[in-house]
Structure 1
Amino acid sequence: MKSAIRFAINIAICYLLAYGIAKPLTMSLLAETTEKVQDNVAMFVGMVLFTLLNYVGQRFFAFKE
């Protein structure tokens, strides 16, 4: 049961961090491009960040045993 709670917490934190970082970062770096390009790149960057953060979180927090 503890692992399930830690897993849910990990998913929520990873999601908030990944997409909270990706959107502003992409918007500032690609300010000259169209909104569609910015949104698509932000989604890609967010997915990559989420995957990396989720792996680390599950490896060292959710299922550390």
Structure 2
Amino acid sequence: MKEIVSHAAPKVVTKIQFSRLNPQQVVQLSEFEVTHKDLYIPEDHVPAKNGPLDRRPVRALACDEP
């Protein structure tokens, strides 16, 4: 049987700000070194740090909270 999940109220976008990446940000996002062969951490089932599925490069593109 499925669990009942309470949903939070939908979030409202109050503003959107667009900007270009500065040269330092481009360099940071342009290269990522994979140093571990593991895809996931077995205990946590999360992508391994510095592994092929590490999401840190993607997080760098996410919006910052004010």
Question: If each structure's helix is expressed as a fraction of its own residues, which one has the higher value?
Answer: 1
Name the larger-Rg structure.
Answer: 2
User: How does the TM-score come out when normalised to structure 1?
Assistant: 0.29
Larger strand proportion of the pair: 2
TM-score by length of 2: 0.29
Which structure is higher in RCO with an 8 Å CA cutoff and minimum separation 6?
A: 1
